[in-house]
Amino acid sequence: MARILIIDDDADFRDTLASTLESMGHDVDVVGDGREGLVALEQADVDLAFLDYLMPGRDGLSVLRTLGEGGASPRIPIIMLTAHATGENTIAAMRYGAFDHLTKPIGRDDLAAVIARAWQAKAPPAPAPAAAPDGVESEPLLVGVSDAMRAVQKTVGMAAATSVPVLIHGETGTGKDVVAHALHRASARAGMPFIAVNCAAIPAELMESELFGHRKGAFTGAVAERKGHFREAEGGTLFLDEIGDMPAAMQAKLLRVLQEQEVVPVGASQPVRVDVRVVAASHRDLAQRVADGQFRADLLYRLDVLSVRIAPLRDRREDIEPLVRHFLAGRKRIAADALAALCAYPWPGNVRQLRNAIERGVALSRTEMLTVHDLAAILPEHAAPEDVRDAPDGTTLPEAVEALERRMIRDALDVAQGNRAEAARRLGIRRQLLYRKMADYGLE
């Protein structure tokens, strides 16, 4: 079994976690702050560590960064813990070499799974990059609490520690451009340009000039030299959105640029070196387009070094409430029935459609509270689940939603024979949310 170090200032949580790990057969050491934890990590012979993110004095991220100073990775797997996971702290933890980032409370099954993965990891995490330049904006970008969104945040954090190409997959409106921007801002290139290009919006005959630039007089209308997007993004990130719509001839030229790290402007005879990180995205199934002969397989392999897959909003409904509050940005409050209706709607246009709905609701509302009436023109009748629509007269929407949630949770627990992790999976929610709702509804 493993020898495990717990670094956490919360004595109750620390003792409970230690007791659980010991009952699983592990040897456990505990310390109560970051300074002691750093000494223990540098001196003690442990196999892995659980490190709390927020602690007085020296926090967990500071400890993790110190362990990785000089380009070295932590010599053992470090599992970061937090009571309040955000996109920003998840990305930061993974970027600086954390093995994983978990949200408290942690179930026994999750502990066993992450320890097993850490135990099997033969190589340390990738080295952390130099810190992003001071003054980079810290506005939240990757809003979401679902397991699917947490996976995106972790992947972005790990990808930010490298400069390899990244391919983002997701339906239209899921926020592929937001993920690309977050990746850029989390990387060491954050102080350099971020250039976004929609490949589907550029005519085929102009794409080479747009991307690679041209010399003055290279063709009719070329009255001045143009640098092109690759050189405009020098030192930074070039985001090629809807890469699946790029013409075949340009695919071959893009492949050469990725391989050689140089571009040849239209009308020029000599290549120009470029230092650019390429992030591409598509709502299309690129593997299928390769099979159909519409996309080059070698270009796909070159772009898809790291993959980020964004689930549609209908498959991660836990993210709707935090997204709604993020889009409202304190301008208005939202009534419980309105929020329930938004959470029940399938959102075929994904996050983009939700954001537009909120903006329209804010524009139409004449009170400080956004109500379901304000959303009537936006959401069709089927926004609420059938169980809610068929509630008895006099029942409020929050009451009906609560009754529906109680029944669904009970049913899921019955089918899962009391296994909470399995019940949460069947309900499509995180275990932490299931635990909270069980406590709220007295289902302990």
* pLDDT of 165: 95
Cross-strand bridge partners of residue 43: none
Q: Which of the 8 DSSP states describes residue 197? A: E
- Contact criterion met (CB below 8 Å) for 80 and 97: no
Residue 243 has pLDDT above 70, yes or no: yes
Q: Which two tokens stand for residue 274?
A: 């470029």
Which residues partner with 251 through β-bridges?
A: none
Percent of the chain with pLDDT over 70: 88
Contacts 24+ apart (CB under 8 A), 244-247: 244/282, 244/283, 244/284, 244/286, 244/289, 244/294, 244/295, 245/199, 245/200, 245/282, 245/284, 246/199, 246/207, 247/204, 247/207
d(CA 237, CA 239): 6
Distance (Å, rounded) from C-alpha 254 to C-alpha 228?
13
The H-or-E segment that residue 166 falls in is strand 166-169
Ramachandran assignment for 418, one of left (phi > 0), alpha (psi -120 to 50 degrees), beta (any other): left
- Give the integer Cα–Cα distance in Å for 227 and 316: 41
Write out the H or E segment, with its range, that includes residue 194. strand 194-198
Mean pLDDT of 280-305: 94
Per residue in 155-192, pLDDT tens? 999 999 899 999 999 999 999 999 999 999 999 999 99
Give all strands (DSSP E) within 270-360, no chain letters: 272-273, 277-282, 306-309, 333-334
Nearest partner of 265 among 223, 225, 205, 224, judged by Cα = 225
H/E stretch holding 124: none
> Which of the residue ranges 241-255, 304-318, 373-387, 405-419 would you say has the lowest mean pLDDT?
373-387
Residue 278 CA to residue 233 CA, distance in Å, equals 10
Which tokens is 405 given? Answer: 């949630």
Within 8 A by CB and 6+ apart from 53, the residues are: 59, 60, 61, 80, 81, 82, 89, 93
For residue 394, the model assigns a pLDDT of: 59
DSSP bridge pairs for 48: 4
Whole-model pTM: value is 0.71
pLDDT at 132: 43
Least confident of 154-163, 208-217, 425-434: 425-434
- Maximum distance among all alpha carbons in the chain? 78
Q: Which two tokens stand for residue 86?
A: 């955000």
Q: Looking at residue 388, what is its pLDDT?
A: 45
| Contact assessment for residue 361 and residue 375, using Cβ atoms and an 8 Å cutoff | yes
pLDDT at 262 over 80: yes
Question: Residue 197's pLDDT is what?
Answer: 94
| Token pair for 116 | 């097993």
Amino acid at 417: Q
Alpha-carbon distance of 130 to 128, in angstroms, equals 7
pLDDT value of position 121: 63
Q: What are phi and psi of 396, to 5 degrees?
A: -75, 160
Under 8 Å between Cβ of 30 and 4: no
SS3 content of the chain, % helix, strand, coil (to 5): 45, 15, 40
d(CA 53, CA 414): 35
Cα–Cα dist 375/342, whole Å = 9
